[in-house]
Chain A
């Protein structure tokens, strides 16, 4: 019965989407289609879990997760503050600020740029997350160690992107600044930093997902008795998978909001860039 319902939901959702996608593109259809797809997935998930009688220890149905999230709102909020606000956000701000300042210094000295950039590129490809146990050892179990992990994780992608962006001015633009008798700092503030903004925001968006991952994974190596990573690893042990999924939903919403906020900020700051203009 439930299985049949799931299959029906799947077919109905898919057919509706095909019909919507076939219509002329507008803002509403562009928004409706992915939402419908997501809704269909949730419906199918609920129906299949009930239909096949899958134990909630393995995969709880969405309704149970929602109920659990409603019940333990306080726990979720506490974990959110501990991990996202204290751990991820503070580390993110420190790491990105440090990286931008370093990038400006590196950009000033060509020798440093040629030396540090390949190293930075190399480090950006490494499993930096592995440094988490060491930093937890150095900075203790509380949020400071999580912020430190986040700083290390976001620093190099941010550095590479910013240095790249600072080089993204044409000789013509720089010559124009020179004819205005602009010095190094004026050129930096009025021309090169604004021109670097698309690259900087690229890095900021990339770093926003890294920051959350860093903060959560660092908690697997030791944390006070709150925090999303802590809750996930202990709840798995207690087989409270509905709570785990509720944490994941919170993490997903926080991550998407973080990323989306950066994207909105980018649109406001780099409104002049071709990729932000409305294609018509």
Chain B
């Protein structure tokens, strides 16, 4: 809790900087407008104008807050203009991709830990697969899957899955191998079967690693879902809001979508954090 004051100071500093920057960036347009109307703006008028433009280069924080309030609280959730609706579209793809990616990553990790061939042949490619800018492949995956007849949630979820399986594989391989030789020997002296060894020793000791990976995977799959929405012609979702906003110069809309994405990410990752704390506490690990 002793971090509260420094964090608040930093956040406050960011808000102040933001206001200052929005004056700087929007100044030119305001001055041009005034010059065209043969007016001279006083400093107070200039500042007031830069903070209330309809299409500013950088909207002031309160403009974004107003837009957020209007699109989140004052629109029906089912309305296409409601940000909650768009956030839900993105979140559902994220969650599906996250679940698929976690399951796939878990299975791969099992294979890598128990089969030497897989360890030697698959592991280097798993790592190589992440040095490829996966998001670059995203539009193609979407278009191709659309051509095959798969559309809607699944293509986006596939991209999320591609991004989220990697942290799970790496974390789980590390976690499943974390029991020491001594612990493994102890299991053997109890003549434990491989199944028991897995369920009673390897799986429990891998959980701290799993949770750490799940947080990264969740953040990654949200990015995947957002980028996955870009090439589909932007129908619904936070990525679509970003794209539409950038086409029509609606900066306030872009920023509110960004803040919404940040909130969704924070909530999802935070939820995993809570589950992690409760689980590890009950296991006596924390």
- B284 in the interface (beta carbon within 8 A): no
B109 to chain A, nearest CB (A): 17
Assess whether B130 is interfacial by the CB under 8 Å rule.
yes
- Annotate A91-130 by CB proximity to B: 1 below 8 A, 0 otherwise: 0000000000000000000011111101100100111011
Given contacts A33-B120, A130-B257, A221-B243, contact A209 B135 (CB under 8 A): no
Known A216-B133, A233-B231; judge A133-B242 contact (CB<8 A). yes
Report the separation of the CA atoms of residues A36 and B121 in the bound assembly, to the nearest whole angstrom: 8
Is B39 in contact with chain A by the CB < 8 A criterion? Answer: no
* B246 on interface, CB distance cutoff 8 Å: yes
Contact, CB under 8 Å: B246 / A127: no
Query: Known contacts being A18-B117, A119-B7, A127-B262, is A213 close to B226, with CB within 8 Å?
Result: no
The answer to whether residues A216 and B251 also contact, given A36-B121, A57-B147, A244-B140 and a CB cut-off of 8 A, is no
Does B117 contact A216, Cβ atoms closer than 8 Å?
Answer: no
Query: Would you call A131 an interface residue if the criterion is a C-beta within 8 Å of the partner chain's C-beta atoms?
Result: yes
User: Can you name the residue of chain A whose Cβ is closest to the Cβ of B224?
Assistant: A127
Whole-angstrom distance between the alpha carbons of A89 and B162 in the complex? 25
B274 an interface residue at 8 Å Cβ cutoff?
no
Neighbour of B139 across the interface among A221, A236, A258, CB < 8 A: A236
The reply to whether A213 and B144 contact each other, CB–CB distance below 8 Å, is no
Identify which of residues 248-286 in chain B touch chain A, using a CB-to-CB cut-off of 8 Å: 249, 251, 254-255, 257-258, 261-262, 265-266, 269
Report if B227 contacts A (CB, 8 A): yes
- A-B pairs with CB below 8 Å: how many? 163
Q: Mark B127-164, 1 if CB is under 8 A from A, else 0.
A: 01011111111011001100110000000000000000
A137 interface residue, CB < 8 Å from B? yes
Q: Which residues of A contact B25 (CB under 8 A)?
A: 138
Q: Chain B residues near A220 (CB, 8 Å)?
A: 139, 230-231
Q: Is the CB of A133 within 8 A of B148?
A: no
Shortest CB–CB separation between residue B96 and chain A, in angstroms? Answer: 17
User: If the complex has contacts A209-B131, A233-B231, A255-B133, are A114 and B6 also in contact, measured as CB distance less than 8 A?
Assistant: yes
CA of A233 to CA of B130, assembled, Å: 21
A240 nearest CB across to chain B (Å): 11
Give the docked Cα–Cα distance between A256 and B219 (Å): 23
**Any chain A CB within 8 A of the CB of B125?**
yes
- The CB with the most chain B CB atoms within 10 A, among A129, A130, A133, A248, is that of A130
- Which residue of the partner chain, among A36, A130, A213, A248, contacts B242 with CB atoms under 8 Å? A130
Which of B58, B139, B254 is the one whose CB lies under 8 Å from A133? B254
Contact with B along A1-34 (1 / 0, CB 8 A): 0000000000000100110111000000110011
B90 to chain A, nearest CB (A): 10
Q: Which residues of A contact B10 (CB under 8 A)?
A: 112, 115-116, 119
Instruction: Annotate B1-38 by CB proximity to A: 1 below 8 A, 0 otherwise.
Output: 01101111111001000000000010000000000000
Q: A59-B144, A130-B242 are in contact. Are A216 and B122 (CB under 8 A)?
A: no
Any chain A CB within 8 A of the CB of B215?
yes
CB neighbours (8 Å) of B120 from chain A are 17, 20-21, 29-30, 33-34
Do A125 and B147 have beta carbons less than 8 Å apart? no
B207 within 8 A of A: no
Bound: A224/B140 CA distance, A: 20
Q: Is A229 an interface residue (CB 8 A)?
A: yes
CB contacts (< 8 Å) of B222 on chain A: these are 127
Chain B: which residue is nearest A130 at the CB level?
B258
Q: Roughly how many angstroms separate A57 CA and B144 CA in the complex, as a whole number?
A: 8
A248 to B134, CA, bound (A): 9
Interface of A is mostly: helix
The docked-state distance in angstroms from the alpha carbon of A229 to that of B230 is 12
User: Given A21-B117, A221-B243, A255–B139 Cβ distance below 8 Å?
Assistant: no
Does B86 sit at the interface, judged by CB under 8 A? Answer: no
A148 within 8 A of B: no
Cβ of A259 within 8 Å of any chain B Cβ, yes or no, is yes
Closest beta carbon of chain B to A102's beta carbon, Å: 12
Contacts of B58 in A (CB 8 A): 134
The reply to whether the CB of A212 lies closer than 8 angstroms to some CB of chain B is yes
Contact of A118 among B3, B242, B245, B258 (CB under 8 A): B3
| A36 surroundings in chain B (CB, below 8 A) | 121
Given known A-B contacts A134-B251, A137-B246, A111 and B6 have beta carbons under 8 A apart: yes
Q: Is the beta-carbon distance between A216 and B135 smaller than 8 angstroms?
A: yes
* Assembly CA distance A137 to B7 (angstroms): 30
Q: Is B7 a contact of A125 with CB atoms below 8 Å? A: no
The complex places the Cα of A220 from the Cα of B135 at a distance, in Å, of 11
Determine if A45 is an interface residue (Cβ-Cβ < 8 Å): no
The answer on a CB contact under 8 Å between B139 and A233 is: yes
Q: How far is the CA of A99 from the CA of B184 in the complex (A)?
A: 43
Query: In the assembly, what is the distance between CA of A245 and CA of B141, in Å?
Result: 11
Task: Judge if A197 is at the interface, Cβ distance under 8 Å.
Answer: no
Most buried by B among A113, A138, A236: A236
User: How many Å from the CB of A37 to the closest CB on chain B?
Assistant: 4
What are the 5 tightest A-B residue pairs by CB atom distance, in nearest-first order?
A115-B6, A133-B246, A37-B121, A115-B10, A34-B124
Please name 9 further chain A to chain B contacts, defined as beta carbons within 8 Å, in addition to the given A115-B6, A122-B266, A127-B219, sorted by A numbering. Answer: A34-B125, A113-B6, A126-B261, A129-B135, A209-B133, A213-B136, A217-B230, A221-B243, A228-B136
